[in-house]
Amino acid sequence: MCGIFAYTGRKNAVPILLDGLSSLEYRGYDSAGVYCPASGSVKSVGAVGNLLKNIDGLSGESGIAHIRWATHGEPTEKNAHPHRDCTGKVWVVHNGIIENYLDLKKKLAMKSHRFSSDTDTEVLAHLVEEHLKKKKSFEAAVVQALREVRGTYGAVFAYETEPDKLVAARMGAPVVLGLGSHENFVASDPSPIMRHTKDAIFMKDGEVAVITPDTHTVYNLNFDRIDRAAEKIEGDAEAIKKGGYRHFMLKEIMEEPDVVKNTLRGRLLTKNGLAKLGGLESVAERLRGVKRIIIVGCGTAYYAGLAGEYMLEGHAGLPVEVEVGSEFRYRKPVLDNSTALVAISQSGETADTLEAVREAKRQGILTLGIINAVGSTIARETDAGIYNHAGPEIGVASTKAFISQLTALALLTLFLGRQRGMSLAEGKRIAEELTRIPEKIASILKDERKIKAVAKKYKDCRDFLYMGRTYNYPVALEGALKLKEISYIHAEGYGAGEMKHGPLAMIDGSFPTVAIAPSGSVYEKMLSNIQEIRARKGPIIAVSTAGDKMMRQFASDTMFIPETIEMLSPLLAVVPLQLFAYHIATLRKLDVDRPRNLAKSVTVE
Ligand code: AGP
């Protein structure tokens, strides 16, 4: 998720653009840049402040600006937006993912276009250049160019030949027009606009807007003019950054249907039951020879790895072991070249995980990353990998990243399984169910109020046990971690079969147990464990499959999830637990986004 901001008016655009970018830094901050048709462009790696070092020569009464969360291409100055065409007259800033950018790039290169970045975004500028050659107007060239694009964009185009005109476009990524007096604005969200004007047009998918200091016109992709009335921007800037939600954590949980879509985007060949993972192409043949996988991660990433173990062993026939980074690096792991190490990390900077990667590389084994932050240290030091495309995760408690990690592990399972004899039918079954996961998560999110009511009932308990089996044993661990790290309540995750080997001794009427018991191969076993607890008067909070009437006999409270295949049940079962933890912590009036003693990225041992 990147931030775009543009201005055209009568004032010096540069300070306005820089100020606007600062309010968008929550959307990503690995590089930034500004282009003014009157004087050129400045870009820098890192946060907006770094732009100030060489901004002196820049001025003009219009411009486009961008703050980047890298999706394609490392976070370097050459990959920073704005991007230009061959002539240097057409410039663009973009938020989103151009799915068919490689095909477009090939076609443009055959017409002698030369590219100066590794990004998907740059093709947009060259496409407009191509259509301008056909003597089209700037805005008509943009519309024609966008008709060739597949994917998502919130974009603004500038053209040196018409310096006061900007062309904005929206498809799947938000774009807001700010309407001022002899000045107009475009942004990814209202936060940089509202200090100038509260009059706005929230663009819709498939719309293109042409703005000058005194005019704004909206078109569809057939270049038909559309009448759109302005409305008032509501709320304050902080609320807008959180998407209107009270906390980033809740916003990020609510983003999870889209996060799964973005992680899957362009990677599922459903008809052939295959996963297309561009980040693994360079090592695909080496992966055929891999006979053992070691997954390494910390905290939530480690729990995602545990779920991945069940996926890979169950559907790809690969032996897997999972280790926390802080332990792996001090073991004397026995590795050989038929082993591959998979490092899972949202930040890509976790020291314990990074050192595990380095140990594996010292022993010459193949290293892969499942990483959210593009161009991060672990992403750069692993041989290949899968980017999550989950967007920045601001809340310290990981939620959408966990869902994305599970999705990426399911894709990896499909990729490796189909290399190892997984049938077409099985591959299609998994692929088709993956496409249904976003809507299934969305249906759970609609039950937030019911989950909040359950949270309210138990918010004062001092201890919780979370239990699950097979795929949902890692979910029990993750659910317990979510609760303890934001509510500071003692919570333990356990394999349900372990209850009678000790934990059962703690159970009494004041000690609730969260039992993750969706339909599946171990459902009956879970019922037995639940009955063991009920016999000791332990309250049961169940996560069950919708329609499960049996559970009503045993559970004091139930949070329902839709039916799915067992391998993907963790992607659904964890969602109620994230909301449960969130609401207990907010009811206890704690700082959900910044829990005490914790940091978002643990870059020290
Ligand atoms: C999870 O809610 C925590 N914030 C923490 O356990 C986190 O998952 C862990 O530090 C690993 O971080 P990474 O994914 O950035 O490597």
Q: Is the Cβ–Cβ distance between 282 and 384 less than 8 Å?
A: yes
Task: Tell me what pLDDT residue 32 has.
Answer: 95
Q: Summarize the chain as % helix, strand, coil (round to 5).
A: 40, 20, 40
Picking from 393, 391, 295, the residue whose alpha carbon sits closest to that of residue 340 is 295
Task: Tell me what pLDDT residue 4 has.
Answer: 96
Same fold, 3-241 and 251-444: no
Task: Tell me what pLDDT residue 49 has.
Answer: 85
- Place 375 in a pLDDT band, splitting at 50, 70 and 90: confident
Task: Say which residue the tokens 């020290």 belong to.
Answer: 604
Percentage of the residues of the chain whose pLDDT score is greater than 70: 100
Q: Which residue has the higher pLDDT, 22 or 585?
A: 585
Query: Can you spell out the DSSP letters for 144-182?
Result: HHHTT--B-EEEEEEETTSTT-EEEEEEBS--EEEE-SS
Atom 8, ligand 1: residue with shortest CA distance: 300
How far is 81 from 64, CA to CA, in rounded Å? 9
Question: How are beta strands 384-387 and 463-468 bridged, if at all?
Answer: unpaired
Which atom in ligand 1 lies closest to the alpha carbon of residue 347?
A: 15
Task: Tell me what pLDDT residue 406 has.
Answer: 98
- Place 135 in a pLDDT band, splitting at 50, 70 and 90: confident
pLDDT value at 356 more than 80? yes
Q: Is the peptide bond before 595 cis (omega within 30 degrees of 0)?
A: no
Atom 16, ligand 1: residue with shortest CA distance: 345
Task: Tell me what pLDDT residue 198 has.
Answer: 93
For residue 579, give both structure tokens.
């909301």
Picking from 403, 332, 390, 392, the residue whose alpha carbon sits closest to that of residue 363 is 332
How far is 251 from 586, CA to CA, in rounded Å? 14
Q: How far is the CA of 395 from the centre of ligand 1 (A)?
A: 11
List of residues 6+ apart from 390 with CB closer than 8 A: 259, 262, 263, 346, 372, 400, 401, 403, 404
Task: Tell me what pLDDT residue 561 has.
Answer: 98
How far is 274 from 517, CA to CA, in rounded Å? 29
Task: Tell me what pLDDT residue 310 has.
Answer: 98
The pLDDT tens digits of the residues spanning 278-331 come to 999 999 999 999 999 999 999 999 999 999 999 999 999 999 999 999 999 888
pLDDT value at 562 more than 90? yes
Q: Is the Cβ–Cβ distance between 543 and 580 less than 8 Å?
A: no
Atom 9, ligand 1: residue with shortest CA distance: 299
| Sign (positive or negative) of CA dihedral 470, 471, 474, 476 | negative
- Place 236 in a pLDDT band, splitting at 50, 70 and 90: confident
Q: Ligand 1 pocket check: which of 370, 602, 603, 604 to mutate, most ligand atoms within 8 Å of Cβ?
A: 602
Backbone φ, ψ for residue 205 (5° rounding): -55, 140
How far is 145 from 350, CA to CA, in rounded Å? 41
Task: Tell me what pLDDT residue 600 has.
Answer: 78
- Has 361 been annotated as catalytic? no
Q: Which residues does a 6 A CB cutoff place in the pocket of ligand 1?
A: 298-301, 345-347, 350, 353, 396-398, 485, 601-602
* Cα distances (Å, whole numbers) of residue 452 to 442, 487, 581, 592: 16, 14, 9, 15
Task: Tell me what pLDDT residue 560 has.
Answer: 97
Task: Tell me what pLDDT residue 482 has.
Answer: 98
Question: How are beta strands 40-45 and 31-36 bridged, if at all?
Answer: antiparallel
H or E, element range at 236: none
pTM of the model: 0.81
- Place 166 in a pLDDT band, splitting at 50, 70 and 90: very high
Q: Which of 361, 428, 525, 600 is catalytic?
A: 600
pLDDT value at 27 more than 80? no
Task: Tell me what pLDDT residue 70 has.
Answer: 81
Task: Tell me what pLDDT residue 438 has.
Answer: 98
Residue spans of the domains in the chain: they are: 3-241, 251-444, 447-587
Percentage of the residues of the chain whose pLDDT score is greater than 90: 85
The CATH code that applies to domain 3-241 is 3.60.20.10
| Mean predicted confidence (pLDDT) in 590-600 | 86
How far is 213 from 10, CA to CA, in rounded Å? 7
H or E, element range at 533: helix 523-534
CATH architecture of structural domain 447-587? 3-Layer(aba) Sandwich (3.40)
Q: CATH 3.40.50.10490: does it fit domain 251-444?
A: yes
- Has 2 been annotated as catalytic? yes
What is the pLDDT of the chain when averaged over all its residues?
A: 95
How far is 258 from 254, CA to CA, in rounded Å? 9
Q: How far is the CA of 401 from the centre of ligand 1 (A)?
A: 9
Q: In what order do the strands lie in the sheet with 366-371?
A: 320-324, 292-297, 339-345, 366-371, 384-387
Task: Say which residue the tokens 């999705």 belong to.
Answer: 407
Q: Ligand 1 pocket check: which of 353, 398, 578 to mutate, most ligand atoms within 8 Å of Cβ?
A: 398
